Amino acid sequence: MRQEEQIIRTEYSELMQKSFIDYAMSVIIARALPDVRDGLKPVQRRTLYDMQELGIRYDRPYRKSARIVGDTMGKYHPHGDSSIYGALVVMAQDFKMGLPLVDGHGNFGSIEGDGAAAMRYTEARLQKITQETFLADLDKDVVDFVPNFDETEKEPEVLPVRVPNLLLNGSEGIAVGMTTSIPPHNFAEVIDGVIAYMKNPDINTEQMMKYIPGPDFPTGGIVANRDELLAIYATGTGKIKIRGRVELERGKGGKDRLVITEIPYTMIGANIGKFLNDVYALVETKKTNDIVDITNQSSKEGIRIVLELRRGADVENLKNLLYKKTKLEDTFGVNMLAVADGRPETMGLVPIIRHHVNFQYELATRKYKTLLARELDKKEIQEGLIRACDVIDLIIEILRGSANVKDARACLTEGVTEGIRFKSEQSRRDAAQLRFTERQADAILEMRLYRLIGLEIEALLRDHEKTLSNIAEYEEILSNRGAMAKVIIRELEGYKKEYSRPRRTALENLEEAVVEEKKIEEMDVVFLMDRFGYAKTVDVNTYERNREAADAENRYVITCKNTDRICIFTNRGQMHLLKVMDLPFGKFRDKGTPIDNLSNYNSSEESFLYITNLAAISGARLLFGTRAAMLKVVDGSEFDVAKRTTAATKLADGDELILVHPYAENETLVMQSEKDFFLRIEASQIPEKKKIAVGVRGMRLGEGDALAAIHVLSEGEGRSVEVKGREVALHRLHIANRDTKGTKK
């Protein structure tokens, strides 16, 4: 019989809300955010644990990355190989990680943004520090193990990391509705901070910053706002200003060079190429003429970007220009968000260390409880063997007189002598007094005869003394928090001694970069644009010498100032502004640059109707006309705006701008419809409106009709158009009122 369907009726919005929250929390907890205890995201944790399980340790040969990725995906992380290999690559990059966790062999990418080779080519193994501080003691029940995705394997819920990895390596991640961005820090400083907290749990952020003064980026550089770090570390959020390090190298003949030896952490990857392009742009747009050449001489030894300077260059102003206009000064947004106690939480410096220290006490407690249990088991067996050595003759007699192991074990543990042959009644009475434990009896039964050698017995006694010493030590550690703290601090100091390195990032308070803008010498130029949209400027004398050719070859010829702006009005009702200074200035026969590249104008989506300079319309008015016969006059001052693109007029749906023209009251307009209706009106009939207005109706159009053209006639001008093979003299048309139907021709 088919089981009846069970239909659950629920509110759709409630179901969507619950489903989205479940999805969001899954991404937050299981993908994007690190755990505050080990500072790792799930994919990183699983990759490191898998490498441990595969035996790819720091003192063993490298193994193919594809082997690691495939094993991790098959056992623990079923989310695609690219995410696993991406995590593996980042953990091996010393320019991204303050403390690389993986030892990569092969092409693992470069600081300039080159990607790593395919996983089938590269090899990897664990770093020594990862082995010692991230994966040690997993066999001592220090963390909980949980089932993997298909419940065929077990994986650690968190790795027993002994150093505050969240601060050492930082973290970046985008979840649903939240992001994390934690900068890396110096190993020795963070260890000192942890020790300071353990000695004084009431330490505040300001006191903690005596030990951890600020971030330490792998790329070096300079933190430029040191005084703001206190607020950032107290709240867990803020912005760190970072600058690259620039050095001046003196050259022969006064030809100096600026050398960038360290870059901001945010410039890693494609941003180095963007920086070079930005410098080229500064030269091309004449923002500076102090740079003669730029070369990127960076190598595996480090960053070296060289700017060759002209003689007499203003070095300080150029530095400030680079800080202001390029990525040489950038902002690192801090948001110290991590998963704490199963939920995302933004934490300051001290809370992160508090969580880490609490985790260390938990790890130490579980570790020494496991070690104590093992030592107690060992003590029990050792005591049994020592006692057995004292009565070894009786035990041998029991073993020789027993019919089977069961009888021998019963005699050793409970003194049962039935079924055992003894040489004497005294031996039977002595055997009846034996009371070994089950473990001791098993050890005695498995003991080899060589253990009866005198030296072996002495070694057993020494081991027993060592076991008793360990038990006392472990019990002291477990019963005394101060003793446990000493053990943790001793381990941290050992790690610091072996793995610390000097600080790379300088912490300073630097003034805001101020650029002295060089005054532009104002001059008259001529703007030239051909029918293909290529534009340039030339000086007035060049134009005068080539006037005839310039007028014949170019669609627009406008005399303006080099400080002026060009207005481009398009059929979509937009006005694009273009600085004359951004246009190439040079020889008459130079091709020029497409205006698409210099402004927001898009020739594939719109076409220009009218181009002029802003100064020419600032004190004038412009006439606008659309295909739906909507007309208006707009004051030119409304187009003097800062935005590069603005709406020049408001268009109804489906309408299109077909006329932009300087307004004069003594002119007349002739509107020509697609169905050959003509209406001539005086320009003075058109009211002045704001640019955001639609305008007024100029001609009453029939159904399905629209304007084909609007002709502007100056006073006394004669002009004709051809309609169906006939000439229509526009200047002879009767002047009528606006908003009438017009005459059919």
Active site residues: 121
CA distance 412 to 398: 9
Q: CA distances (Å), 352 to each of 140, 200, 347, 456, in order?
A: 25, 15, 6, 51
Q: What is the largest CA-CA distance in the chain?
A: 151
Beta 506-507 vs 222-223: how paired, if at all?
parallel
Distance CA 491, CA 501 (A): 17
The CA R_g of the chain, rounded to the nearest whole Å, is 42
SS3 call for 395: helix
- Cβ atoms of 657 and 569 closer than 8 Å: yes
Q: Which residues neighbour 102 within 8 Å (Cβ) at sequence distance 6 or greater?
A: 48, 51, 88, 91, 92, 124, 125, 126, 127, 130
With residue 291 as reference, give the H or E element that holds it: strand 291-296
DSSP state of 535: E
Residue whose token pair is 């990391």 = 161
Cα distance between residue 606 and residue 694, in whole Å: 20
**Residue 570: closest CA among 633, 694, 659, 686:** 659
**Residue 268: which of 303, 239, 237, 225 has the closest Cα?**
303
| Cα dihedral 357, 359, 360, 366 in deg (nearest 10) | 150
Taking the C-alpha atoms of residue 530 and residue 535, their distance in angstroms, rounded to an integer, is 7
The β-bridge relationship of strands 245-249 and 645-647 is: unpaired
Taking the C-alpha atoms of residue 672 and residue 712, their distance in angstroms, rounded to an integer, is 11
Helices 349-390 and 392-401: crossing angle in degrees, nearest 10, is: 80
Q: How far apart are CA 729 and CA 742, in angstroms?
A: 15
Interatomic CA distance for residues 698 and 720, integer angstroms: 21
